[in-house]
Amino acid sequence: HLLEGLRGKASVNGVLTASQLMNYVYQKVGTDPRSNQTPHFGHLEGDGDFILCTPNGEHLPGGPGGDFLVKPVVERPEPPLEVLPVSAKPEFAERNGYAHPDRVSFGLNEWATKLGICERQEGGVQVHRLSHWLSLVVEPVSNQPVNLDIADLARTLPNHATRSDKPYEQFTMPSQAITTAKSAILFEPHTWEDSGEECWNRFVRIEITGAMEYCHHSKVARIYRPKPDAAGFKIFYYVQIIGIIWTFLYEAKRILSNAGYQAGVRYLVNLIGTRDSVLV
């Protein structure tokens, strides 16, 4: 059987390796009714093995009598082949309003239009839609599977706070959640949201594909008016923006890792409505 294996019967697609030869010979000898040996994987000492050579020819017919103990070599399982993920073209950002930074509609989609500020005025609450905010987009860039359960995300993530002694890993999810057929949306409604209109401070959208969108306004942007009756101008807060960029990156990594995804992502940082604004 060993010679037959060497002649090519143990080869696979014309390639013969030591492990293929070993596997072929063990299987053939172990199932050959003419064989008195019992080779197998995971030998017990003295249980039988292929004997090709002994010091005094004890394994040969007519050789010296007496037993000869063969100390088996412990097989080590081969490591599984690493399957490299295949690159996939990310399209989430382009499909959700982030394809053309020079357009007025940049960053606007179904969910971003719910961002706003509520102000109490005589006769009720007035909702002001936002003119500028921070938007972060995370999207897997390989075909490695992402095992996300939309219903479970909506149930477990509201108010979830990542515990860590590292400040850049501390992220708290919004308190409310809704779902669509392919995504979970966690959002923080404005405290005074009693106008009949949806008015969110921030939201996180997680698609079943692993793509995520995080839009935030309350801590990173505002309208500054030097006087109460002045028109005001738009301000972005640099330090707060950098902090949120880091904390959300680690939160996205945690979610994707829990979903079994270990490959790369595309991370887009977008400042929406920067025209005529100031970074401080």
Q: How does residue 250 score in pLDDT terms, banded at 50, 70 and 90?
A: very high
Report d(CA 40, CA 27) in Å as an integer: 8
CB 195 within 8 A of CB 118: yes
Backbone phi, then psi, for 215, in 5-degree steps? -115, 130
pLDDT for the residue 21: 79
Please tell me whether the overall predicted TM-score, pTM, comes out greater than 0.75 for this model: no
Mean confidence (pLDDT) of the chain: 83
pLDDT for the residue 50: 56
The residue that leads in pLDDT, 128 or 195, is 128
pLDDT at 263 over 50: yes
pLDDT digits (tens, 9 = 90+) for 2-24: 888 888 888 776 667 777 777 78
Q: Which residues pair with 265 in a beta bridge?
A: 140
pLDDT at 125 over 50: yes
N- to C-terminal Cα separation, the chain: 79
Residue range 150-171: average pLDDT? 93
Report d(CA 132, CA 122) in Å as an integer: 26
CB 59 within 8 A of CB 45: no
